[in-house]
Amino acid sequence: MIRIAYRSLSAIFALGLLAMLGMSGGCSGSHAQKPQSAEQTVAATEAVQVGDDAARCDYVGRPDREAHESAGIGSVKLNILRVYALVGEGEDRRRVLLCRAVDTNLDGIKDVVRTFNDKGESLREVADSDYDNKIDTWITFAGGRIAKVQVDTNHDGKPDETRYYVRGKLSRIQRDTNHDGRPDVWEIYEDGHLRRIGHDLDFDGHVDRWDRDEVAERAALERELAEEKKQSNQGESPPQSASPSDGGVTDAYVSPRNR
C-alpha cells in the first residue's frame, strides 16, 4: 500500500476561488468606487508588479491603461484591483482586462495576481499563500485551463514541487525533496488517480524504485477475475489475465544497482 503524504492544494484553490468570486460581474464590479489617492495608487502598483507580466499590471501614468478597485463578496474594503487596456477609438473604444490583483486576507497587500491575454483567457497567476509577503505559488494556464502549478515549500523563493495538468486533470507531480534543484520523486496519475511513484534514492537524476498502487491493482485484478468467471459460466472464452509484464505489477521495482 502506498503511503504518501499529500500536501493540500487548498491554499492555492482557496486563493483562486476568492479571486474568481471577486470577478463576479466582470467590469461592473467597479461601480461606486472611490478615487485612489496618489499614495494608494503607487502602493498598489508596487504590490502587483511581479513576475514576467508586470507590464500588464502597470498603469500609473499610462493613457492606454485604466485601473479600478472594488470590494469582493463579503468584504467591506476595496481589495480587488483590475487593470484594463483601452483599445479602439471613438464608439469602438473598449476595455480589455489585463491584470487582476486581490488582497485575500484584507491586510492591504495584494497576495494573488493573475494576468490575462487579449482574449480574456488566464495566462499566469502568482500567489503568496502564507501571507509572508513572498511569492510561493506560480500557476501557468493554457487555453484558460491550469497547465502547471509550481510551489515553494521551503520558503527559499524557488519552486521545489511542480504539478502538471492535461485537459484540466492532474497528470504528474515532481518533487525536489533535498532542494538541489532537481526532482527526485515523481508521481504519475491517470484520469486524475495516482498510479505509481518513482524515487531517486541516490539523487543522481534517475528513478531507482517504482512504487505502484497495490490496492488499485488488486481491485482491477479482482474485477477481471469476476468477469472471467462470469464469462466462463456463460460458456465464453475468458480474456487473458494481466501479468507483471503487461502492467499487473503489485510490488515495488528496485533497479539492480540498488538491490
Per-residue DSSP letter, 2: -
Of all residues in the chain, the percent with pLDDT exceeding 90 is: 42
User: In this structure, are 188 and 245 located in the same domain?
Assistant: yes
User: In this structure, are 175 and 91 located in the same domain?
Assistant: no
Taking only the tens place, the pLDDT of each residue in 131-179 is 998 999 999 999 889 999 999 999 999 999 999 999 989 999 999 999 9
User: In this structure, are 25 and 98 located in the same domain?
Assistant: yes
Mean pLDDT of 189-200: 90
148 found inside a domain? no
User: In this structure, are 2 and 116 located in the same domain?
Assistant: yes
pLDDT number for residue 181: 92
pLDDT number for residue 55: 73
Q: Where does the pLDDT of residue 32 fall: very low under 50, low under 70, confident under 90, or very high at 90 and above? A: very low
pLDDT number for residue 183: 95
Q: Which region among 47-61, 96-110, 201-215, 231-245 has the lowest average model confidence (pLDDT)?
A: 231-245
C-alpha cell at 222: 479482482
Q: Write the DSSP string, 8-36.
A: P-HHHHHHHHHHHHHHTTGGGGGTTPPPP
Asked if the model's pLDDT at residue 21 lies above 80, the reply is no
Q: Write the DSSP string, 29-83.
A: GGTTPPPPPHHHHHHHHHHH--GGGHHHH--TT-TTEEEEEEPPTT-SS--EEEE
**Average predicted confidence (pLDDT) for the chain:** 75
242 found inside a domain? yes
12 found inside a domain? yes
C-alpha cell at 177: 525533496
Q: Which of these, 223, 179, 89, 104, lies nearest to 114 by C-alpha position?
A: 104
Q: Write the DSSP string, 209-250.
A: EEEE-HHHHHHHHHHHHHHHHHHHHTTPPPPPPP-GGGT---
Residue ranges making up the domain that contains 111:
1-121
Taking only the tens place, the pLDDT of each residue in 82-106 is 999 988 888 888 899 999 999 999 9
Asked if the model's pLDDT at residue 77 lies above 50, the reply is yes
User: In this structure, are 169 and 252 located in the same domain?
Assistant: yes
**Residue type present at position 39:** E
User: In this structure, are 100 and 211 located in the same domain?
Assistant: no
User: In this structure, are 178 and 88 located in the same domain?
Assistant: no
Highest mean pLDDT among 117-126, 169-178, 229-238: 169-178
Asked if the model's pLDDT at residue 4 lies above 70, the reply is no
143 found inside a domain? no
**Residue type present at position 68:** H
Task: Count up the domains in the chain and report the number.
Answer: 2
Integer CA distances (angstroms), 167 to 61, 110, 145, in order: 40, 29, 7
User: In this structure, are 98 and 11 located in the same domain?
Assistant: yes
Asked if the model's pLDDT at residue 24 lies above 80, the reply is no
Q: Is there a contact between 125 and 113 (Cβ–Cβ < 8 Å)?
A: yes
